[in-house]
Structure 1
Amino acid sequence: MTQPAQNVMVLYTGGTIGMQASANGLAPASGFEARMSDYLASQPQLRVPAWRFREMAPLIDSANMTPAYWQRLRVAVVEAVEAGCDAVLILHGTDTLAYSAAAMSFQLLGLPAPVVFTGSMLPAGVPDSDAWENLGGALVALGEGLSSGVHLYFHGELLAPTRCAKIRSFGRKPFATLQRQGGVARAESVPGTLDYRQDKAPACIGVLPLVPGITPAQLDGLLGSGIQALVLECFGSGTGPSDNPEFLASLERARDAGIVVVAVTQCHEGGVELDVYEAGSRLRSAGVVSGAGMTRETALGKLNALIGAGLAADVIRQLLAVNLCGELD
């Protein structure tokens, strides 16, 4: 069910959209509320809902985004909704926008309002900038009505954040929906600790892409670094160096230590099915959990929410196969 937004909170985190030149290059800058107000006043044909503005602290280049910042964003969204806003627009840098939008999809489970992420590839005010078209388009979309949950808006498109990634470092269309599939989502009850109103601790999660010649020592180094979970980017449908007993033993030690290891595919299309090849089934036997069609961004964001909610490793493994917000559609 969609409802036209009447009162939007705009959360400004920084990013290219509001950057200005500094001695060391483009940097996040305050004062974007006035610039946004001036632009919208100059465009009376745009039918946008009423809006408020909050500048997050600190303003950051999105390359500096962290799970701790996601928690500040979650709190800011909840505060806005509890204060009477019926939608939230988050202005964010594009480099980690897909990560944040995916992560916040899980952080805001059950939120009775739509949240839209947008940003721009060029700063507002420079020639050929996409800043105002993205900001204005996102506000118009909210005014026309969006379903509850998190959305990503860019270049006239609404994208499901648990299915997309930034695939280009240039141009007006940096984001794309990846054609991912694999596995069947089980229907199970969702723990109350995942509710959007519940505080969640920032999690420490590693990501390791497999490459030919990767050694058990490399895997051991990451697993021994204090991470609570690992996103293992496997070959194809979920294969890895299964003829290396030391590599498999390292994965088994991770399982026994309560470190959840989730396999996702390195491919842009498809997904993980660990039992198709022996090289995949051996990973499963060593404790690796299938991430099915989840993207790297989505697996990272889901693990952050599950671990941050304080769930036990066995519960996390079960919930990785449960479709919480479209990540396994």
Structure 2
Amino acid sequence: MKKTLILYTGGTLGMRRSASGYVPDAHLESALQRLLEDTVDQLPQVDFQTLEPLLDSADMQPQDWYRIAAEIRDNYNHYTGFVVLHGTDTMAYTASALSFALQGLDKPVLVTGSQIPLREMRSDAYNNLIAALLLSKSEDIKEVCLYFSGKLLRGNRAVKVSSGSLDAFASPNYPSLGEVGIQVSVDPNVLLDPVNSPQFQTPESADGKVVLVKLFPGISPLFLSKLVEYRPRGLVIETYGTGNAPTNNTAFTAQLKTAAEAGIICVAVSQCLENQVDLGKYATGSALLRSGVVSGLDMTSIACFAKLNHLLAMRYPADEIKVLMGTSLCGECTPLYR
């Protein structure tokens, strides 16, 4: 018998109106039960669990990622699938983080939500929830996915591309895993291959102390020096194009070298949605490489942030982390091609 656990974390799907705007509503379960009454024979059995406190996803912190992962870990043997109801603003961060915390899944974990609350007219919540529940029955899906508006995406490949459209998410560097339209289709050729057993990792201290910085014309080395003074353990740099930075200013690359020598792991990703970082392609990228920066390949900045945070929080040795950032752990990146 198929049985799915719904974990409600907050977010637009379950929100209600208040004097100050939409806020999470703790009474979502009864509303869902009424909505699902007529479809119970087509869906898996469902248990519902509310995670306290309910959060707007803008308030999600790394410890909340691992709180969700721990619930899935602790209930793993009791269910055949999991659906996480989550706000859209940081949904891709949570989906990415869950993919690293729950490596080696042999059942589906679907993260979904909505752009319009369930209680509002024209809400997209019902269709997203029903589709996620149907997909949670699949025996082919063995990874963390993000489902939204007809698209089944790998969780660590997804990005939010619109705040005003119901079609809010895309997967720029990897094909969709499936689609839900008139038919429900999943492409087995792009799913993760199954592994021998789950490799669940939930660190005791969830914050790996990672900073995400976006390069911009005119960025001052002083700005970077202040980041280095803050002493993060990891730095994800959103570079231009294939991994380029303003290296004419030697003070800028000197700060990156100082960061690397201080033990700060610096990883370059691209501001472009498509293609990948190749630090050896241009001289400006090679300067980063010589300064100790490693390539994040075609990872989204979101997935790179979550991955680096995870590896640091798990206290992997620095040299191993540098190798693992360029290694696909759960389908989050593609080996470098020329």
Q: TM-score, normalised by structure 1?
A: 0.91
Counterpart Cα distance in 2 of 1:130 and 1:180: 25
Name which of 27, 30, 33 aligns with 2:29: 33
Counterparts of 1:261 and 1:32 in 2: how far apart (Å)?
42
Which shows bigger deviation, 195-204 or 131-140? 195-204
2-structure distance, mates of 1:209, 1:180 = 23
Q: Does 1:12 align with 2:16?
A: no
Distance in 2 (alpha carbons) for counterparts of 1:70 and 1:91: 13
Pick the aligned partner of 2:163 from 164, 169, 172: 169
Asked if 1:260 corresponds to 2:227, the answer is: no
CA distance in 1, matches of 2:109, 2:225: 39
**Of the candidates 209, 212, 215, which is equivalent to residue 207 of structure 1?**
212
What is the CA distance between 1:42 and its match in structure 2? 3.5
Counterpart of 1:140, as a letter, is L
- Please give the per-residue CA displacement for 1:74-103, whole angstroms capped at 9, x wherever unaligned: 111111114x11211100000110111011
Task: State whether structure 2 residue 98 is matched by structure 1 residue 104.
Answer: yes
* Structure 1 unmatched ranges of 5 or more: 182-191
Q: Secondary structure at the match of 1:310?
A: coil
Conservation of the 8 A alpha-carbon contact between 1:71 and 1:200: no
Report the 3-state secondary structure (helix = DSSP H, G, I; strand = E; otherwise coil) of the residue aligned with 1:143. coil
Map Cα deviations across residues 40-98 of structure 1 (whole Å, 9 max, x no partner): 00345x7110011110011000001110111111111111114x112111000001101
* 2:38 equivalent among 37, 42, 49: 42
Q: Distance in 1 between matches of 2:326 and 2:308?
A: 12
Determine if contact 1:232/1:261 at 8 Å carries over to the other structure.
yes
**Aligned residue identity for 1:167:** V
2-side partners of 1:264 and 1:232: how far apart? 6
Q: Indicate whether 1:87 and 2:81 are aligned.
A: yes
Are 1:318 and 2:323 matched, yes or no?
yes
Output the CA distance in 1 between the equivalents of 2:265 and 2:204.
Answer: 18
Which of residues 60, 70, 74 is equivalent to 1:65?
60
Query: Letter of the aligned partner of 1:235 in structure 2?
Result: Y
**Residues 80 and 88 of structure 1 are in contact (CA less than 8 Å); yes or no, is this contact kept in structure 2?**
no
Tell me, in whole angstroms, the C-alpha distance in 1 between the residues paired with 2:249 and 2:201: 45
Residue of structure 2 equivalent to 1:189: none
Instruction: Give the 4+ runs in structure 1 shifted more than 6 A.
Output: none
Aligned CA distance change for structure 1 residues 180 and 211 (closer, same or farther; 3 Å): farther
For 2:148, the equivalent position in structure 1 comes to: 154
Contact preservation (8 Å) 2:81, 2:136: yes
Partner in structure 2 of residue 185 of structure 1: none
The separation in 1 between residues aligned to 2:44 and 2:32, in whole angstroms, is 14
**Aligned-residue RMSD, C-alpha:** 1.9
* Corresponding position of 2:200: 196
Give the number of equivalent residue pairs: 313
Q: Deviations over 1:192-230 (max 9, x none)?
A: 9x9315535211111111001101111111222242101
Contact 1:11 1:89 in 2 (8 A): yes
Task: Check conservation: 1:13, 1:90, Cα contact below 8 A.
Answer: yes
1:132-189 per-position Cα deviation (integer Å, ceiling 9, x unaligned): 00001110112243421101111122111222200001121000111379xxxxxxxx
Cα distance in structure 2, aligned partners of 1:239 and 1:197: 34
- Change in 2 beyond 3 A, CA 1:104/1:171: same
Q: In the alignment, what sits opposite 2:136?
A: 142
Q: Distance in 1 between matches of 2:156 and 2:58?
A: 19
Distance in 2 of aligned mates of 1:200 and 1:276: 39
Counterpart Cα distance in 2 of 1:127 and 1:221: 48
Q: What CA deviation, in whole Å up to 9, does each residue of 1:2-48 have, x standing for no partner?
A: xxx7111110000000000111000001011111111000345x711
- 2:279 counterpart letter in structure 1: L
The answer to whether structure 1 residue 271 and structure 2 residue 271 are counterparts is no
Give the residue type in structure 1 aligned to 2:320: V
CA distance in 2, matches of 1:241, 1:319: 27
Counterpart contact for 1:251–1:286, Cα < 8 Å: yes
Structure 2 unaligned segments of length 5 or more: list them: 176-196
Q: Deviations over 1:242-262 (max 9, x none)?
A: 121211111111111111110
* Conservation of the 8 A alpha-carbon contact between 1:180 and 1:271: no
Range with greater deviation from structure 2 (106-115 or 276-285): 106-115
Percent of aligned pairs with the same amino acid: 38
